[in-house]
Amino acid sequence: MIVYRYLAEVLFYALVILTFTGGIMTVRSKLLMHAVLGLAATLFGVAGLYFHLGSPFLAMMQILIYVGAVCIIIVLGVMLGNTPDQLAAKHLTGRNLPLALLTCSAGFIALFVATITRTEFTVATEKVGDMSIEFVGESLLLQYCLAFELISVILLTAILGSIILARGGREGKTS
């Protein structure tokens, strides 16, 4: 039993060192790809700490969402993004700026008014749920399924849009 306690303590300190080393690598790196690798190491360390603290569900979500999605999207943005030379060659002008500001303002006001008029502001006095893994899983699969599906469609649209914009920027340079 004493061996397991020491092994658990060594594992904890190794995860803390991994987290801090990855964080320092992220902040101090001069290359963006090295910073992303440091971020991934930090997030793996945090996931290991969650697992060590007895929450494997949270650890898996940490790996799935942050390491698996955020780091990959950053790498995708680096790979498909425009170089500084390409951005300087475009000479972007602001002739559509007033129209964009008007459209964004109208959308914001419409969403704000719709949200304020349809929301019932009450004080929550009762407990919503027990926040166990079973309750959270049932809520995500039954009650909030549509919201998560819509979020995934929006993320897919954003990724496809960024790829299309990035390819258009590269094709404009070569042709």
- Of the pLDDT bands very low, low, confident and very high (cuts 50, 70, 90), residue 175 is very low
Give residue-wise pLDDT tens across range 65-79.
888 877 777 777 777
Q: Which CATH architecture has domain 1-80?
A: Up-down Bundle (1.20)
Say what the pLDDT of residue 1 is. 72
Q: Identify the top-confidence range among 4-8, 12-16, 122-126, 132-136.
A: 12-16
DSSP states along the chain: -HHHHHHHHHHHHHHHHHHHHHHHHHHH-SSHHHHHHHHHHHHHHHHHHHHHTT-HHHHHHIIIIIIIIIHHHHHHHHHHSPPHHHHHHH----TTHHHHHHHHHHHHHHHHHHHHHH-------S------HHHHHHIIIIISHHHHHHHHHHHHHHHHHHHHHHHHHHHHHH-
Spans of all domains in the chain: 1-80, 84-91+133-175
Mean pLDDT over residues 35-48, rounded? 90
Q: Which residue has the higher pLDDT, 18 or 125?
A: 18
Say what the pLDDT of residue 123 is. 64
Give residue-wise pLDDT tens across range 107-136.
999 988 888 888 777 765 555 567 777 877
Give residue-wise pLDDT tens across range 83-115.
667 666 665 567 777 887 888 899 999 988 888
- Of the pLDDT bands very low, low, confident and very high (cuts 50, 70, 90), residue 44 is very high
Say what the pLDDT of residue 84 is. 66
For all residues of the chain together, what is the average pLDDT?
A: 79
